[in-house]
Amino acid sequence: MKTSRFAINWFVDFDKEERWINEMSKAGWAFWHTNGVFYRFKRCEPNEFIYQIDFDEKKTKDEVDDYVSFRSSCGDQFVHQCKQKLYWKRKTTSGPFEAENNVAAKLRLTNKAFNHHLNSFWGLMLIAAFSFLVLMPLSKFLPECGFTKWLFEFSVGLTYGILLVESLLLFPILLKLRKKINDLIRHLL
């Protein structure tokens, strides 16, 4: 019987990530590590643990350590930290986590993710515009040779590739993050 499991997943919505980790726990897999995409689990009794994702708003390592010590003294077990997310667990028999209304921290983290993806979107758009407006015309003005044909094909491929990535990946991510930001703002009001 396997004692560890590796899963690949990526979440825009932190609440969905928390639900997924708890579903894995119900299936007998205890979460112990992630880098944001790759998740590691160890075998446990089904439904042995419940998990909560908290958000680190502390500025220094000492403040984070104090917060972890405080929550640990309250009975929660610190599992892992990935960037600004802190993962906690407790035995299911201890009862659920108290409703954590850390909406402001979730809003700040979601807004930070939105801005990161928006900057990526505009950066790729600038590269596509440069390829379309400079490289393609340049290849038509240079003397006919293998390089100019390659430059033209490269610029066409680069432009279409970037537009495809943006339309299939980045734009849907931006829409999901914008929806999550609006939901969090409504929750704050």
Last residue of a domain, one of 62, 94, 126: 94
59 in the same domain as 77: yes
pLDDT at 101: 60
121 in the same domain as 57: no
Cβ(142)–Cβ(135) under 8 Å?
no
Burial 19-56 (b: 16+ CB within 10 A, else e): ebbbebbeeebbbeebeeeebbbeebeeebbbbbbbbb
Residues of the chain below pLDDT 70: 1, 56-59, 98-101
Last residue of a domain, one of 50, 71, 94: 94
pLDDT at 140: 79
Total count of domains within the chain: 2
pLDDT at 70: 87
Last residue of a domain, one of 94, 112, 132: 94
Nearest CA to 114 out of 7, 9, 14 is that of: 14
**pTM over cut 0.85:** no
Domain that holds residue 72: 4-94
82 in the same domain as 27: yes
